[in-house]
Amino acid sequence: MKGAAEPAQIAPAGQMPECTENIQVRLPPIEVRIEPANVAAFCSATGGPRLHAEVPLTFPARWIALPAVRDLIARSIGSGFIPVHEGQTFAYERALQIEAAYTLTVEARHTPAPPRLNLRMSIATPQGEICARLETVLRIVPALKPA
């Protein structure tokens, strides 16, 4: 049986610690807002209808590209490696709404064999009600060197 999980480290804004094995790193909460134009662009890019009355279930995947999350991923995998999307899950408690604000929390854990970075995210209303939980698994592979 494995020992108890270590507590997550909270990374202050602008000071991202390395995400190493056995240590879970948590970003400070990130305020996000679902704008109609972003939903339309997401739907267009993913082959969905351009005019969408509801937020697509996979829409929160775009928040992996937020600067704080990208920085965490880059620092966690190190130079000379790239993250390859291996899998993603979405579990909803309630639907997300267009023109609504949410709080996104992100936790990352690096696992050694095979090398992966697991990102666990939750989306909550400003009142703290959980709307969705997401998990993204990124396989960490060596970058190809130019010939």
Placement of tokens 């639907």 in the chain: 95
Placement of tokens 């082959």 in the chain: 47
**Residue 59 and residue 41 in contact, taking contact as beta carbons nearer than 8 Å:** no
Is residue 33 predicted with pLDDT exceeding 90?
Answer: yes
DSSP collapsed to 3 states, 67-129: HHHHHHHHHHHCCCEEEEEEEEEEEECCCCCCCCEEEEEEEEEEECCCCEEEEEEEEECCCCC
Q: What is the pTM of this model?
A: 0.80
**Residue 6 and residue 90 in contact, taking contact as beta carbons nearer than 8 Å:** no
User: Does domain 21-142 bear CATH number 3.10.129.10?
Assistant: yes
Q: Within 10 Å of residue 107's Cβ, how many Cβ atoms?
A: 19
CA atoms of 77 and 13, how far apart (whole Å): 19
Handedness of CA 16, 96, 48, 53 (dihedral sign): negative
Domain ranges of the chain: 21-142
Confidence band, pLDDT 50/70/90 cuts, at residue 22 = low
Confidence band, pLDDT 50/70/90 cuts, at residue 3 = very low
More confident residue, 30 or 77: 30
Confidence band, pLDDT 50/70/90 cuts, at residue 1 = very low
CA atoms of 68 and 145, how far apart (whole Å): 27
